[in-house]
Structure 1
Amino acid sequence: MDWTDAYLTIICELLAEQVRKGNRPNTYLNTLGYTEVSDRFFQMTGIELTKTQIKNKWDKLKIDWTIWQKLMKLQTGTGWDSAKGIIVMDNEWWRKTKKDIPGCEKFKKKPLQCEEQLREMFGDISSDETDHWNPMSSNPVVPENNVEPFTVDGINDVPNEEDHEDIIHDWAYQEEEEEEEDVQEVTPTSENAKKRPRVVLEIPKKAKSSTALIIQEKISTIAESAASFTSRKEAEVSIKEVMQHVLECGADYGSNEHDIATQLFVKKDQREMFLTFPTTKIRFDWLTRRYNDKYGSV
């Protein structure tokens, strides 16, 4: 399939919509997400995509997003064309950068398309998690500085591997566990060990609750960000909505009017203009004129 700018805009909007709906439980869409994207893309373009095609496009878009983010980290101190949205540097700079960031040459003359939608799709899952903790990932990694040491007789000691694992993954503890005594006794098991003095291992409640508090704070931040984004989106006209109106005004799949609509309505102002027309006939005639303006009357 030839992924034109118009088709790319549509697929990115549809994928981002599924992320907003919660149909990306981990790093990929679930079955419902793939089905809805395929159905909506067919309705808007007349092209039927398989799950494999959608997944392959998702992977390629994620690679582009990662490359672009690495490039943007190098933007400081470089030339920048604000009109085109690209880095302006000489060929030698690009040759060196290409070695550090393979694939970045595609953005030498053209910026990343659909950056806002790609941020929704990959912004919270593209980190390598070396210095960021994502509590919503399928296998979250807690930074070491979130694990508090044990205290034995007032002396700090680093927990062993088994104890360390218990602290990291003790997220679903019951409330009654907080009511347990702070002091737990460690009883020797061997005959020789019974002669040793009793060792009291004190585990502060904070060691149990710190991870849960961090999760709660992270989830609250994510919820606030999602609510803010949704409120901004409510006032916008989506491609999906306007293409439904295109079909309703008589511009069927394969028609000149439907073809020009897929090109025009990647732009927000064109979508808004189209929906200001009061009748379906006026909308259809307007699409016909736009097609003739670009390609000439048939």
Structure 2
Amino acid sequence: MFDNADWNEENTKLLCELFAEQVTAHNRSGTHLNKSGYKNVMEKFKDKTELNYSKMQFKNKWDKMRREYANWKRLVKETGLGWDNEKKTYKAPDSRWKQLNKDYPGISKFKDGPLQFEELKSIMFEDIRNSEDDHWAPSSGVAPTNQQDAEADEAEDKDEDYEANEASDYWEEYSPEPSKGKRPAPSNWKDKGKKPKSSGGHWVQKELSKLVALSERSTASWTKEHFIASQVFVKRAEREMFMTLETPEE
């Protein structure tokens, strides 16, 4: 059971230190830490705080801090902004902050104060901050590369389930299914007993490539069936014999 995330100033500073440590140790792949990096952060954070947070909680915080860092750096390039020595942040009319926040959601938080722990966040994010992304606005209709990468990273934990489902969908399409005791002809065949127009060596090679690829990516439970199919379907006579079978049991 994981604890509810409490990102107070103390916990946030510790997290930034741990994130920066992992980046320095080359445990960041793309725009996120790799599995080893997150594992180290989770263990060290729990050891120092006795808080048990999930990998997704750390990923979400990473994404939020990366957006904040990018927004802070965007302000450096904005013209017409002043500097508030008391608040240690930029100053501008409310109308300007409103427009900036419309273009870059969340940026108006810096109206009241600077970015926290900028030095640590610079280690974490500066070398992956893309200058084109800094000027991206939702109105452009095209998400920046880093945002797409982040979305892909968030799906990392679901890859194994996805691959298993993909294998299942493929076998549903090509495996025999009972229908009144007989195996129905594949939907892409025009007449029973006839091969598709694309039949022949190229078609077999294409289908075998799919089977081999799925065998490599799927979970262990599918491996045996994929291997057998990849061996059986190489021989034309056995492919034709396979098509004569009427039930899944056969």
For normalisation by structure 1, the TM-score amounts to: 0.41
More helix by share: 2
